[in-house]
């Protein structure tokens, strides 16, 4: 299952509802929602009120990525405001196993994210317990960065581990995803693609159509 996951961090917040509607009309199923606390990462984005507000108007799958120190404190709050999936950073959790338990206990899908410098080995023991692994292919906290080439090997390593163990775990990539790097990450084994400026710059509907077509083209070559 290949999915484009537009990141609203790159949207125009003055027209957020309108732009999300464009995504839905173009058949986009997932919406990537980056929550940053100014502690785990330097930037501050937004929190529950924004998610609760857009949830009222959207039937999309809300893929909430918490770049937050000790995110276990907020799991229920994000579920209550509309999250369908919550991804936490391995580096941000004192007790990662317990945090993943809290997410599943709240009734939503659970993901683990790792920074570019974090080895796959740090989370390999958790693969049976999660629905998704998010490989950050830039340093978390800022948009518009260039894809870090060394992350390709991590995607490949993850895909091999997941397939070897016969697990149903998605691999999501976030950071520097564009027409060139999409090919790279798909060949490496990723199936969920977070994109910000590639989606929201200029004509959103046209961008989405082009990206979806590109995903299908590459997928056909991988079969």
| Catalytic site includes residue 34 | yes
pLDDT score for 141: 76
pLDDT score for 144: 67
The span from the CA of 31 to the CA of 50, in Å, is 13
The sheet that has 85-89: what strands, in order across it? 3-6, 192-195, 170-174, 132-136, 109-114, 85-89, 61-67, 30-36
38 has binding-site annotation: no
Strands 85-89 and 170-174 come out as unpaired
pLDDT in tens, the chain (223 residues): 899 999 999 999 999 999 999 999 999 999 999 999 999 998 999 999 999 999 999 999 999 999 999 999 999 999 999 999 999 999 999 999 999 999 999 999 999 999 999 999 999 999 999 999 999 999 887 666 799 999 999 999 999 999 999 999 999 999 999 999 999 999 999 999 999 999 999 999 999 999 999 999 999 999 7
Instruction: Mention every residue, 6+ apart, whose C-beta is less than 8 A from residue 44.
Output: 36, 37, 38
The span from the CA of 90 to the CA of 112, in Å, is 6
What digits encode the pLDDT tens for the residues 113-129?
A: 999 999 999 999 999 99
Catalytic residue among 34, 37, 63, 170: 34
Please state, as a whole number, how many other Cβ atoms lie within 10 Å of the Cβ of residue 5: 24
Domain count, the chain: 1
pLDDT score for 143: 64
What is the domain range of residue 196? 3-222
Question: Which CATH number fits the domain that encloses residue 127?
Answer: 3.20.20.70
For Cα atoms 211, 82, 134, give the angle at the middle one, nearest 5 degrees. Answer: 50
Is residue 222 within a helix (H) or strand (E), and if so which, with residue range? helix 204-222
Catalytic residue among 129, 163, 174, 203: 174
196 has binding-site annotation: yes
What digits encode the pLDDT tens for the residues 127-136?
A: 999 999 999 9
| Catalytic site includes residue 12 | no
125 has binding-site annotation: no
What is the pTM assigned to this prediction? Answer: 0.96
The count of C-alpha atoms lying within 13 angstroms of the C-alpha of 64, restricted to the half-sphere facing its C-beta, is 32
189 has binding-site annotation: no
């Amino acid at each position: 299952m290949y999915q484009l996951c537009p990141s609203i961090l790159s949207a125009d917040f003055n027209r957020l509802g309108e732009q999300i509607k464009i995504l839905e009309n173009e058949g986009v199923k997932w919406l990537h929602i980056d929550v940053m606390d100014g502690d785990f990462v330097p930037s501050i984005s937004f929190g529950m009120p924004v998610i609760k507000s857009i949830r009222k108007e959207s039937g999309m799958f809300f893929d909430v990525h918490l770049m937050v120190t000790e995110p276990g404190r907020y799991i229920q709050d994000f579920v209550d405001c509309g999250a369908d999936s919550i991804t936490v950073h391995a580096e941000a959790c004192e007790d990662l196993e317990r945090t993943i338990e809290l997410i599943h206990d709240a009734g939503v899908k659970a993901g683990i994210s790792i920074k570019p410098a974090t080895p796959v080995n740090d989370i390999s023991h958790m693969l049976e317990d999660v629905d998704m692994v998010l490989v950050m292919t830039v340093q978390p906290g800022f948009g518009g960065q260039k894809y870090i080439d060394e992350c390709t090997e991590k995607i490949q390593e993850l895909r091999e581990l997941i397939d070897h163990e016969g697990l149903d775990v998605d691999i999501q990539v976030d950071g520097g995803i564009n027409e060139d790097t999409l090919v790279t990450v798909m060949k490496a084994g990723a199936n969920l693609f977070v994109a910000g400026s590639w989606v929201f710059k200029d004509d959103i509907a046209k961008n989405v159509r082009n990206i979806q077509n590109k995903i299908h083209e590459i997928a056909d070559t991988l079969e």
